[in-house]
Amino acid sequence: MSVADLAALPAPARPEIAFAGRSNAGKSSAINALTDQKRLAFASKTPGRTQLLNFFELSGRNEKRETVVRGILVDLPGYGYAKAPQEQRAQWDLLVGGYVALRHTLVGVVIVMDARRPLLAADENLIDFVSRESALHFLLTKSDQLNNAEKKAALAFAQQRAAQIGPRATAQLFSVPKRQGIDELACILAGWLPE
């Protein structure tokens, strides 16, 4: 389901994991690689849905091999367009900022960032909003565009920022074409969900 204002949020029943990032950072590609689906990002790309919170059930199998919903993946609208009108930025702060600040079922937020430009002002703006009760994971994607020394430096930089925040924050490198970091990301997210 998709939601345009905080009053329309679904009842907070299951743990939620949100994906956020600057427009073009690689968020849709990361979600697709993680979930092995094309449909999620497709749904989020439907015109008019770009400024909505999009909710997807994450299902798995229980010990009786029945399908059960383990949590909810929330695809948040992109941010960071310098040209976005002030009014649209204020609307984003209200909707996305309000959601990540106040949602009690939000177990963690994945912040998707281009590994060449991690932790820009717009990313820090989002981090400021996120509740101190939620985990944070810095996903440094497009790492295939960096050499080994640059990768090491980017990861160290993001890990340093995570350490300033505390143990609830973590960081990793990721690449969709090289299929690197998918298992590591899946492990982090599984750790945010109850058994």
Ligand X SMILES: Nc1nc2c(ncn2[C@@H]2O[C@H](COP(=O)(O)OP(=O)(O)O)[C@@H](O)[C@H]2O)c(=O)[nH]1
Q: What's the Cα-to-Cα distance from 119 to each of 83, 92, 177, 181, rounded to whole Å?
A: 19, 18, 22, 19
CB of 28 or CB of 170, closer to Mg ion: 28
- Pairing between β-strand 16-21 and β-strand 106-114 as defined by DSSP bridges: parallel
141 binds Mg ion (CB under 5 A): no
Count of positions (residues) in the chain: 195
Q: Interaction with Mg ion in 16-75: which residues (CB under 5 A)?
A: 28
Smallest distance from the beta carbon of 180 to ligand X, in angstroms?
8
Q: Which residues bind ligand X (CB under 6 A)?
A: 21, 23-29, 78, 141-142, 144-145, 175-177
Amino acid letter, residue 45:
K
CB of 51 or CB of 105, closer to Mg ion: 51
Q: Give the CA diameter of the chain.
A: 52
143 binds Mg ion (CB under 5 A): no
CB of 29 or CB of 91, closer to ligand X: 29
Q: Which does 175 bind (CB under 5 to 8 A by kind): Mg ion, ligand X, none?
A: ligand X
Name the site residues for Mg ion (rule: CB under 5 A): 28
